[in-house]
Amino acid sequence: MECQGEVIAGLRAAFHTGVTIPLEFRLTELKGLLALMEENEAQILDALHRDLRKPKFEAAISEIEIVRNDICFAINNLKTWMLPEYVGTNLATKFDDCFIQRQPFGVVLIIGAWNYPLQLILLPLVGAIAAGNCALLKPSEISQATEALLAELIPKYLSKECYVVTCGGAEDTRRLLENRFDHIFYTGSQAVARKILLAAAVHLTPVTLELGGKTPCLIYGRIDMKTAAKRLVWAKYFNAGQSCVAPDYILCTKETQDALLPAIREALEAFYGPDPQKCPDVGRIVTDKHWNHLMDLLGKSKGNVTIGGESTQEEKYIAPTVLVDVDETDILMQEEIFGPILPILTVETLEEAITFVNAREKPLALYVFSDEPQVVTTVLESTNSGGFCANDGILHMTLPTLPFGGVGASGMGCYHGRYTFETFSHKRACLLRSWGLERIGALRYPPYSDTRLSWLRWATTTKKSSCSIM
């Protein structure tokens, strides 16, 4: 690994030249990134296939299109985002200019993850570029083909001085974090996130952490089971269950479970055919180590496999699997599953399901399927989560106009669309005072008196808006 300190010093020097500040530069770089996505689609799909056997459709939608969409969104709106934001003043500052200026932080570190190796590193990069920062990209070493591709393509399309890709393993990342950055953006696990926060504290570096957790999926009440099952199956087994916002487990009544299982079977058959292993639309587990871990969980679970359960080690394949008779002490309920294994826990009432969810860490996402609006509202109002989606899964994170991020143990900060720009910007309060009106200004000077104080109060107080007519 090249000398990290030198690379970071180089980025800092580039930032200090001011080259990343003008709108034109940022647009040029964003267009460069767009060209990278558009001109290398085949190589990208190939790398993703080699890393995760990612089906072409999934790769196209969840890696290429989502990034292209975000880049276009930024290009179309960046000029507006960069404008000073004028805010309200009080009487004493009526003739002054009061606005918020957005400024880049400087050199930011973006650490990607292996499950969506392109999206999770490039979406933050879009915002970092848009906000005028320089960036050091550290893609996950687990998704090796994509890592190598990024290392090859980024310097071809973007400014080599301002955006650098660095490769390496856990030890290299640890050493990287000893350096000072102006913002760290990390996607991954809670355990590593703690280490990153501790390293960031040394330099007082702000961080964004996109973590995970067990995403609950409540199914309750009157429901179109066939449609619900299709959406649930799509969201769960997309990328072989390796999504931070995949529904991790289901909470429903026994009656609902009885209706749900055949609907899931039907959806799986419709999607993947009778033998999912042969279906090109089914992905694989990323590494042997991860496959072994999932098989271990499956083996130790006290639940009953009612759908799927087949697996092949050489291919790192696990069939879309559903287990019933799982309870909260089960090994499957102790950590985020991150695979194509779906446990169903039964409850008697909606309240019981809500209590179950609230007894656990706040998840990154929370899903509820129901045709009854009251059920949806009750769950929404009684729980907390990073994001929430009713009657579908994952989709809330595909809109660039919604903030994507966790809360509590599932993360801090958010991004996508304009939110990424805001994440990588410092909002600087600016007040341009006029030279005049010094007489009013003088009210604040000593020696003090009661009269001065009451004039000052009048000039500076925000009045509570009161309408005596209404």
Least gap, CB of 368 to another protein (angstroms): 10
Instruction: Specify burial of residue 101 (Cβ count, 10 A radius: 0-12, 13-18, 19+).
Output: middle
Q: Which of 38, 178, 224, 310 binds another protein (CB under 8 A)?
A: 224
Closest C-alpha to 185, from 167, 206, 168: 206
Least gap, CB of 316 to another protein (angstroms): 19
Q: Which residues pair with 311 in a beta bridge?
A: 318
Q: Does 181 bind another protein (CB under 8 A)?
A: no
Q: Which of 24, 465, 468, 470 binds another protein (CB under 8 A)?
A: 465
Q: Does 400 bind another protein (CB under 8 A)?
A: yes
Q: Which residues pair with 341 in a beta bridge?
A: 321
Q: Does 5 bind another protein (CB under 8 A)?
A: no
Least gap, CB of 325 to another protein (angstroms): 27
Least gap, CB of 301 to another protein (angstroms): 27
d(CA 128, CA 233): 34
Tell me which residues in 422-441 interact with another protein (CB under 8 A): 426-435, 438, 441
Q: Which of 13, 17, 38, 56 binds another protein (CB under 8 A)?
A: 56
Least gap, CB of 285 to another protein (angstroms): 18
Q: One of 58, 63, 147, 210 is an active-site residue; which one?
A: 210
Q: Which of 214, 230, 236, 316 binds another protein (CB under 8 A)?
A: 230
Q: Which stretch binds another protein (CB under 8 A): 29-37, 187-195, 297-305, 349-357?
A: 187-195
* Site size toward another protein, by CB under 8 A: 114
Tell me which residues in 139-158 interact with another protein (CB under 8 A): none
- DSSP characters for 165-232? E----HHHHHHHTTS--SEEEEES-HHHHHHHHHHHHHHT--EEEE-----EEEE-SS--HHHHHHHH
The residue among 136 and 443 lying less far from another protein, judged by its C-beta, is 443
Q: One of 98, 162, 244, 414 is an active-site residue; which one?
A: 244
Q: How far is CA 92 from CA 88, 447, 448, 464, in A?
A: 12, 20, 18, 17
- DSSP letter at 322? E
Closest C-alpha to 134, from 255, 239, 13: 13
Q: Does 192 bind another protein (CB under 8 A)?
A: no
Q: Write out the two tokens for 281.
A: 């639309």
Length of the chain: 470
The residue among 18 and 262 lying less far from another protein, judged by its C-beta, is 18
* DSSP-based helix, strand, coil % in the chain, nearest 5: 50, 15, 35
Q: Which of 60, 259, 261, 440 binds another protein (CB under 8 A)?
A: 60
- DSSP letter at 366? E
Q: Which stretch binds another protein (CB under 8 A): 57-65, 107-115, 298-306, 323-331?
A: 57-65
Least gap, CB of 460 to another protein (angstroms): 6
Q: Which of 314, 401, 439, 470 binds another protein (CB under 8 A)?
A: 401
Q: How far is CA 86 from CA 23, 121, 160, in A?
A: 19, 33, 35
Least gap, CB of 439 to another protein (angstroms): 11
Closest C-alpha to 342, from 262, 246, 267: 246
Tell me which residues in 8-27 interact with another protein (CB under 8 A): 16, 18, 21
d(CA 316, CA 356): 33
Active site residue 210: yes
Q: Does 88 bind another protein (CB under 8 A)?
A: yes
Q: Write out the two tokens for 243.
A: 């999504």
Q: Which of 369, 415, 421, 424 binds another protein (CB under 8 A)?
A: 369
Just list the catalytic residues. Answer: 210, 244
